[in-house]
Structure 1
Amino acid sequence: MSEELSLAATSLGHLASFHAMASRCEVLMRTADRELAYAMAHQVLQETRRIEKKYSRFNHTSLLSGLNANAGDWQNIDVETSALLVFSKQCFDLSDGMFDITAGPILKLWNFGSDANMPTSASIERALKHVGFGKLSIEASRLYLPLDMSLDFGGIAKEYACDRAASLLTLHYPHIPALVNLGGDIACASVAEKPWQVGIEDPSELNNATGTISLTGGGLATSGHTRRYLLNKGKRYGHILNLNTGYPVEGAPLSVTVKAANCLVAGMLSTIAMLKGVNAQAFMASQDIDFHICR
């Protein structure tokens, strides 16, 4: 058994866990067959690590880092990257330009934690000049990323990996219900006759649930700033940034949880709701989808 993948028997089958994408990841599988459960979990681990290796901006050898390093030139892109860019355009349009994968220059200025400091207004103003999805030129197999701009798939990569892993399990193990959980981004593999009960974390009492959501299929995602924020002169700044100003969104909920047809769409909607700030509730109500907002 791989040292990076742990497996334990449960009352419903097996639970596997591993670390990837800066998160604790789990796979719940309703099978008593330990070897089968391990094979399923290992497939999830491999697919998650593949996507992390390819699209992490923190990995200097990733495909994404290569695209950013060669900004200023036309570059070839594969089918998978092209599809992610198309989805990113949908995020950008639906959010009125607030959900933007070109936010890299401004994201690099902000650190969140006990020892973090506020960036200067001048540095924010300079960085915003190099942000804007509309400045990209995208063709089916080519991308032009202007000089001094960069891409960051951090807002969609984990949700995408979750859906991909669940899809592989559904393809190869269609009769075994499983739940893929990548740091709170969740997708169902195969249809579960008995619903999965997923807890919604209470922002005022972390690691405790304020409610549950039943899942038989599809995905679930939560966006929030209960764990990543900055305190400066008594004011709390969440980590979700308003790209019109370069500063954290004002009036955002503590968290937004969304249930959707897949994890990628759930993640997109929960993030956009956070970006809407005080209008989060109205935005989610217009989507005709299950959601839970904590303030």
Structure 2
Amino acid sequence: MIVPPEDHDEIDSLQVNSMNTSFSIAISNDFNMDWKETIISFLHYIEREFSRFRRNNELSRLNEAKRNSILTVSPILFDLLKKAEEYRVITEGRFSPYLLTQLEVHGYKQSFPFEIAQDIETIPRYENEYQPLLLKEGCQVIKKTNQKIDFGGIAKGYAVEAISKWLQTHTSSSYGIVDGGGDMSMWSKGDKTWAIGIMDPFDEDKEIGSFSIRNGGVATSNTIYRSWMQGGTKKHHILDGRNGMPAVSDIVQATVVTEHCLDAEVSAKLLFMDDEKSVKSILSKINRKFSYILVKTNQKIEIGGSRKNEL
């Protein structure tokens, strides 16, 4: 995120480490309200209850429940499950939250950074089920699957979007930005424009370019940082929900710009999974307005989207 120096006195900001990433939040300082403790508490709650690396939290209790169990969950977990299931359906299974077992079999059993998986490579058994969960009124969930849930990036995107909406509603700030490790939501009620830099995936200290935006969502997925060796095979964290295997692509980084952060978060991962025509068709079902910036293994950059000259 790039903020013009002359704006520093007008901005109230917060930085929080949560969910294995750094959250940076900045809003216009034209009101009198203590908003920071609410945001910190919310982020810690999301991390505590929905991290797959923690035990005895709400996500683990759902994952450990037997098939055909009926559970009453918190409104936030219910909303997360509902959104994740909607994305699974609209992407025809490319996106899926039901990939925890597959991630672990591929060697992703610990938080990053790590370089070598502890377990040897095996072939994961994967059940691509038609309707894994039934979501009922009153935050009731009927578990119809043996697959386990990992929210991964969608939990971070969900948190970014929820914080952005809350700040716009409760602080009356005229502009602001929420950045959760590259998942961003920004708004402006006037002429404020945010300049967003795009990291070079081959050198994190450099940028390959930037773009300007007033309102919308941005997300970036990268197969270099969250990658590891398992036996003699290089693995990464972006799994194709149709087969439970790491996506095969000549793309190493995808950045998506659209109207909502959560849409961008899911869309960025899809760009690793299919040819351009197929992916653009699915992305247009998620949000008809989108742009993307791709970095290939040969370091070439490709820009595209739903319209020409999107950025």
Which TM-score tier does this pair reach, normalised by the shorter chain? 0.7 to 0.9
The alpha-carbon deviation at position 205 of structure 1 amounts to: 1.9
Going from structure 1 to structure 2, the CA distance change for 1:190 and 1:133 (only over 3 Å counts) comes to farther
- 1:136-193 CA distances to partner (integer Å, 9 max, x unpaired)? 3332332222464322211311001001111111112223422111111111255352
5+ residue gaps in structure 1? 1-8
The alpha-carbon deviation at position 134 of structure 1 amounts to: 2.4
2:257 alignment partner, SS class: strand
Equivalent in the alignment of 2:115:
114
Q: 1:25-104 residue pairs with structure 2 within 5 A? A: 25-31=23-29, 39-72=34-67, 73-104=69-100
Q: Is the 8 A contact 1:27 1:178 kept in 2?
A: yes
The number of aligned residues is 278
Going from structure 1 to structure 2, the CA distance change for 1:15 and 1:133 (only over 3 Å counts) comes to farther
Q: 1:241-260 residue pairs with structure 2 within 5 A? A: 241-260=239-258
- 1:78-122 CA distances to partner (integer Å, 9 max, x unpaired)? 443333222212221232212111111111222363222574334
Q: Percent identity?
A: 21
Q: 1:258-277 residue pairs with structure 2 within 5 A? A: 258-276=256-274
Distance in 2 between the 1:147 and 1:197 partners?
44
Distance in 2 between the 1:289 and 1:147 partners?
33
Q: Is the 8 A contact 2:187 2:214 kept in 1?
A: no
Distance in 1 between the 2:14 and 2:58 partners?
28
The alpha-carbon deviation at position 204 of structure 1 amounts to: 2.1
Q: Is the 8 A contact 2:185 2:260 kept in 1?
A: yes
2:54 alignment partner, SS class: coil
1:68 alignment partner, SS class: helix
Going from structure 1 to structure 2, the CA distance change for 1:208 and 1:284 (only over 3 Å counts) comes to farther
Distance in 1 between the 2:241 and 2:118 partners?
19
1:156 alignment partner, SS class: helix
1:290 alignment partner, SS class: strand
Q: Which runs of structure 1 show a deviation greater than 6 angstroms over 4 or more consecutive aligned residues?
A: none
Going from structure 1 to structure 2, the CA distance change for 1:53 and 1:190 (only over 3 Å counts) comes to farther
**TM-score, structure 1 normalization:** 0.82
Distance in 2 between the 1:203 and 1:284 partners?
23
Higher helix share: 1
Going from structure 1 to structure 2, the CA distance change for 1:289 and 1:244 (only over 3 Å counts) comes to closer
